[in-house]
Amino acid sequence: MTLIKSISGIRGTIGGRVGENLTPIDAVKYAAAYGTWIKQQLNKDSYRVVVGRDARLSGEMIQNLVMQTLVGLGIHVIDLGLSTTPTVEIAVPLEHADGGIILTASHNPKEWNALKLLNAKGEFLDAVEGAKILALAESDAMQFAAVDDLGKITKNAAYIDIHIDSVLDLKVVNTDAIAKANFKVVVDGVNSTGGIAIPLLLERLEVEAVKLYCEPTGHFPHNPEPLKEHLTDLSEAVKKAHADFGIVVDPDVDRLAFVDENGEMFGEEYTLVACADYVLSKTPGNTVSNMSSTRALRDVTEKHGGTYEASAVGEVNVVDVMKKNNAVIGGEGNGGIIYPESHYGRDALVGVALFLSLLAEKKMAVSELRKTYTSYFMSKKKIALTPEIDVDALLVAITEKYKNENLTTIDGVKIDFADNWVHLRKSNTEPIIRVYTEAKSQELADTLADNMIAELHAIVKAW
């Protein structure tokens, strides 16, 4: 079906033809290219790479292929087994490793998997380094180790606990207030590794956890992207349990969304807004999110006297702008929290601890907390790519049409109108054009998106 090579890693569907899908041969090819890149960074006697995976059905197969390929290159592997993306990110520097690989396709359905690639800091590779790996994959530069120089695999199942320890050690996490609040929370782990990590974190915080889909079987009970239309079971479970709120994460636990005590979505865009509100109240400073994220983060940042900046979409881009602007917190509007005091990566465990701290100190219901933030409404739609759609030409045409508006073109085209905005961009993870809008009502946001989609189709039809 699909093999996508981008800043977000090597992502594809399982099965099918080599080079068109994420087949075993493709997994070996790109793991070998990554391992070769690692060895080219430094001339040393020994190399180490951390590898972990989410619970999706193809995970064990892909992980074994990747690890044994690295062994064949003479690279030692620290095998975390079932893990989370932020856990692997934390493990890389703690293990003094030269890099890391997470086997996960994030929010994609079960037929997908991916190799997400990290550098020695436990951060995602930038576009320049990613391009080097893609070039190596098509070259004859990969040289494997002789039999006496093969790498070894060491298993380490302790890192989820180590990750939780690091979250609890964060100065801004108010463990005492959380414990005294006697929270009751429903957790939807989408039958992946969030079902392991989030309940363990809540237990350590003395929060009662009601588990929903927390068995790491890889059989996702609903579409794993944490959007409202996929979370009806969680909403019902929160109401039935008379819980304070509900938590849902994606399969690799770097995205986080909440459901309030009435079973209504808090809004994944507002996960970052709420966590930033709490962090900024303790440590005022600057924030960053990507161009497709809500204006509400800007509002909260300015309320605390800080400066907000927008980056291109993609975690590595957000991190780059965060470092340049000394941001104290940032992330993406898809529920991704990046808190540098922990590490430069989206982390749902950190997000849960920050959100609980905020609630415990505010002493208000989740629905009431949501009312304290400016209400913006987003529409997230998409257009499937077909052979006749030239994305670059399409974006040029839109840029020309709206040239007198406030335009940003660092990542697709974003048109900032006075009271709303539209962002068009080609996805890094799916063969689609994303059409994101934000306005002061859902009806206006949806209408804005539908009108833009109609304009795009009209342009294509005119070709």
Active site members = 106
CA pair distance 379, 441, nearest whole angstrom:
10
Task: Mark out the alpha helices in 127-192 (DSSP H runs).
Answer: 127-137, 159-168, 175-181
Q: What is the 3-state secondary structure (H, E, C) of 333-355?
A: CCCEEECCCCCCCECHHHHHHHH
- What would you report as the CA-atom Rg of the chain, rounded to the nearest whole angstrom? 22
- d(C-alpha 446, C-alpha 379), whole Å: 5
- Residue 90 token pair: 């934390």
HSE-CB of 80 using CA atoms within 13 angstroms? 31
CA 106/CA 127 separation, integer angstroms: 19
Sorted by sequence, the CB contacts under 8 Å of residue 148 that are 6+ apart come out as none
What is the chain's length? 463
Q: How far apart are CA 39 and CA 106, in angstroms?
A: 27
